[in-house]
Structure 1
Protein backbone atom coordinates (compact mmCIF):
# COMPACT_ATOMS: atom_id res chain seq x y z
CA UNK A 1 0.00 0.00 0.00
CA UNK A 2 1.33 3.41 -0.89
CA UNK A 3 -0.06 6.89 -0.98
CA UNK A 4 0.44 9.68 -3.46
CA UNK A 5 1.94 11.90 -0.78
CA UNK A 6 4.24 11.34 2.15
CA UNK A 7 5.24 8.05 3.64
CA UNK A 8 3.65 4.65 3.01
CA UNK A 9 0.74 4.10 5.44
CA UNK A 10 2.39 1.32 7.46
CA UNK A 11 5.59 3.33 7.89
CA UNK A 12 3.54 6.37 8.95
CA UNK A 13 1.54 4.27 11.42
CA UNK A 14 4.75 2.84 12.87
CA UNK A 15 6.25 6.31 13.20
CA UNK A 16 3.16 7.69 15.01
CA UNK A 17 3.11 4.69 17.35
CA UNK A 18 6.79 5.13 18.15
CA UNK A 19 6.28 8.85 18.85
CA UNK A 20 3.41 8.02 21.20
CA UNK A 21 5.36 5.25 22.93
CA UNK A 22 8.45 7.35 23.70
CA UNK A 23 6.64 10.58 24.65
CA UNK A 24 5.78 9.66 28.28
CA UNK A 25 9.47 9.13 29.03
CA UNK A 26 10.42 12.63 27.90
CA UNK A 27 8.70 14.66 30.60
CA UNK A 28 6.28 14.03 33.44
CA UNK A 29 4.14 17.09 32.63
CA UNK A 30 3.48 16.36 28.96
CA UNK A 31 -0.05 14.96 29.26
CA UNK A 32 -1.26 17.32 26.53
CA UNK A 33 1.41 16.10 24.13
CA UNK A 34 0.64 12.48 24.97
CA UNK A 35 -3.06 13.08 24.43
CA UNK A 36 -2.40 14.74 21.07
CA UNK A 37 -0.10 11.90 19.99
CA UNK A 38 -2.65 9.30 21.11
CA UNK A 39 -5.37 10.97 19.04
CA UNK A 40 -3.02 11.20 16.06
CA UNK A 41 -2.14 7.52 16.42
CA UNK A 42 -5.80 6.49 16.59
CA UNK A 43 -6.54 8.58 13.51
CA UNK A 44 -3.63 6.98 11.63
CA UNK A 45 -4.80 3.55 12.76
CA UNK A 46 -8.29 4.26 11.46
CA UNK A 47 -6.90 5.58 8.19
CA UNK A 48 -4.75 2.46 7.85
CA UNK A 49 -7.67 0.16 8.64
CA UNK A 50 -10.00 1.39 5.88
CA UNK A 51 -7.89 0.14 2.93
CA UNK A 52 -7.32 -3.14 4.77
CA UNK A 53 -11.06 -3.67 5.10
CA UNK A 54 -11.53 -2.88 1.42
CA UNK A 55 -8.76 -5.32 0.50
CA UNK A 56 -10.32 -7.99 2.70
CA UNK A 57 -13.65 -7.49 0.94
CA UNK A 58 -11.95 -7.95 -2.43
CA UNK A 59 -10.13 -11.08 -1.24
CA UNK A 60 -13.37 -12.52 0.15
CA UNK A 61 -15.17 -11.82 -3.14
CA UNK A 62 -12.34 -13.47 -5.09
CA UNK A 63 -12.49 -16.53 -2.84
CA UNK A 64 -16.24 -16.82 -3.43
CA UNK A 65 -15.72 -16.53 -7.19
CA UNK A 66 -13.00 -19.19 -7.08
CA UNK A 67 -15.29 -21.49 -5.10
CA UNK A 68 -18.07 -20.95 -7.66
CA UNK A 69 -15.63 -21.58 -10.50
CA UNK A 70 -14.40 -24.80 -8.87
CA UNK A 71 -17.96 -26.05 -8.44
CA UNK A 72 -18.79 -25.21 -12.05
CA UNK A 73 -15.62 -26.94 -13.27
CA UNK A 74 -16.52 -30.07 -11.28
CA UNK A 75 -20.03 -30.04 -12.75
CA UNK A 76 -18.67 -29.69 -16.28
CA UNK A 77 -16.21 -32.52 -15.69
CA UNK A 78 -19.06 -34.75 -14.42
CA UNK A 79 -21.02 -33.99 -17.59
CA UNK A 80 -17.99 -34.77 -19.74
CA UNK A 81 -17.47 -38.12 -18.02
CA UNK A 82 -21.19 -38.89 -18.32
CA UNK A 83 -21.21 -38.07 -22.05
CA UNK A 84 -18.06 -40.10 -22.66
CA UNK A 85 -19.63 -43.04 -20.85
CA UNK A 86 -22.79 -42.77 -22.97
CA UNK A 87 -20.74 -42.55 -26.18
CA UNK A 88 -18.73 -45.65 -25.28
CA UNK A 89 -21.80 -47.79 -24.59
Structure 2
Protein backbone atom coordinates (compact mmCIF):
# COMPACT_ATOMS: atom_id res chain seq x y z
CA UNK A 1 0.00 0.00 0.00
CA UNK A 2 1.22 3.47 -0.85
CA UNK A 3 1.69 6.29 1.63
CA UNK A 4 0.99 9.16 -0.81
CA UNK A 5 -1.31 9.76 -3.76
CA UNK A 6 -1.52 12.21 -6.62
CA UNK A 7 -5.19 13.04 -7.24
CA UNK A 8 -7.35 15.06 -9.61
CA UNK A 9 -10.75 16.52 -8.75
CA UNK A 10 -13.26 17.74 -11.33
CA UNK A 11 -15.46 20.75 -10.53
CA UNK A 12 -19.03 21.28 -11.75
CA UNK A 13 -17.65 23.57 -14.47
CA UNK A 14 -15.26 20.84 -15.67
CA UNK A 15 -12.08 22.37 -14.25
CA UNK A 16 -9.45 19.99 -12.89
CA UNK A 17 -7.71 20.49 -9.55
CA UNK A 18 -4.47 18.57 -8.92
CA UNK A 19 -3.12 17.76 -5.47
CA UNK A 20 -1.38 15.18 -3.29
CA UNK A 21 -2.55 13.51 -0.09
CA UNK A 22 -2.16 10.43 2.06
CA UNK A 23 -5.95 9.96 1.81
CA UNK A 24 -7.59 11.32 -1.39
CA UNK A 25 -11.14 10.50 -0.26
CA UNK A 26 -10.68 12.42 3.00
CA UNK A 27 -9.12 15.27 1.03
CA UNK A 28 -12.13 15.32 -1.30
CA UNK A 29 -14.40 15.61 1.74
CA UNK A 30 -12.28 18.55 2.95
CA UNK A 31 -12.55 20.25 -0.44
CA UNK A 32 -16.33 19.71 -0.42
CA UNK A 33 -16.56 21.42 2.96
CA UNK A 34 -17.64 18.28 4.83
CA UNK A 35 -14.42 18.47 6.87
CA UNK A 36 -12.20 21.45 7.71
CA UNK A 37 -9.18 22.20 5.56
CA UNK A 38 -10.26 22.32 1.92
CA UNK A 39 -8.62 24.51 -0.73
CA UNK A 40 -10.07 28.00 -1.06
CA UNK A 41 -9.85 27.76 -4.84
CA UNK A 42 -12.52 25.02 -4.84
CA UNK A 43 -15.09 26.77 -2.63
CA UNK A 44 -18.41 27.21 -4.40
CA UNK A 45 -17.33 25.13 -7.40
CA UNK A 46 -19.12 21.91 -6.45
CA UNK A 47 -20.19 19.32 -6.84
CA UNK A 48 -16.64 18.00 -6.77
CA UNK A 49 -15.70 14.54 -8.03
CA UNK A 50 -12.49 12.60 -7.49
CA UNK A 51 -11.63 11.46 -11.03
CA UNK A 52 -8.05 10.21 -10.73
CA UNK A 53 -5.62 8.94 -8.15
CA UNK A 54 -2.14 7.49 -8.53
CA UNK A 55 -0.16 5.87 -5.69
CA UNK A 56 3.37 6.98 -4.86
CA UNK A 57 5.85 5.50 -2.37
CA UNK A 58 6.73 8.82 -0.71
CA UNK A 59 5.80 12.49 -0.54
CA UNK A 60 8.75 13.53 -2.73
CA UNK A 61 7.63 11.23 -5.52
CA UNK A 62 4.02 12.44 -5.26
CA UNK A 63 5.17 16.08 -5.29
CA UNK A 64 7.25 15.54 -8.42
CA UNK A 65 4.31 13.89 -10.15
CA UNK A 66 2.01 16.74 -9.05
CA UNK A 67 4.37 19.29 -10.59
CA UNK A 68 4.54 17.31 -13.84
CA UNK A 69 0.75 16.96 -14.09
CA UNK A 70 0.22 20.65 -13.35
CA UNK A 71 2.40 21.43 -16.39
CA UNK A 72 0.12 19.40 -18.69
CA UNK A 73 -2.63 20.89 -20.82
CA UNK A 74 -6.22 20.12 -19.85
CA UNK A 75 -6.46 17.79 -22.86
CA UNK A 76 -3.44 15.82 -21.64
CA UNK A 77 -4.93 15.61 -18.13
CA UNK A 78 -8.19 14.31 -19.65
CA UNK A 79 -6.21 11.61 -21.48
CA UNK A 80 -4.53 10.64 -18.21
CA UNK A 81 -7.95 10.31 -16.57
CA UNK A 82 -9.45 8.34 -19.45
CA UNK A 83 -6.57 5.82 -19.41
CA UNK A 84 -7.03 5.08 -15.69
CA UNK A 85 -9.39 2.61 -14.10
CA UNK A 86 -12.72 4.08 -12.93
CA UNK A 87 -12.75 5.18 -9.28
CA UNK A 88 -15.38 4.03 -6.80
CA UNK A 89 -16.59 5.60 -3.54
CA UNK A 90 -15.55 9.06 -4.68
CA UNK A 91 -18.89 10.74 -5.30
Identify which of structures 1 and 2 has the higher relative contact order when contacts are C-alpha pairs closer than 8 Å and 6+ apart. Answer: 2
Give the structure-1-normalised TM-score.
0.21
Give the structure-2-normalised TM-score.
0.20
Choose between structure 1 and 2: higher helix proportion. Answer: 1
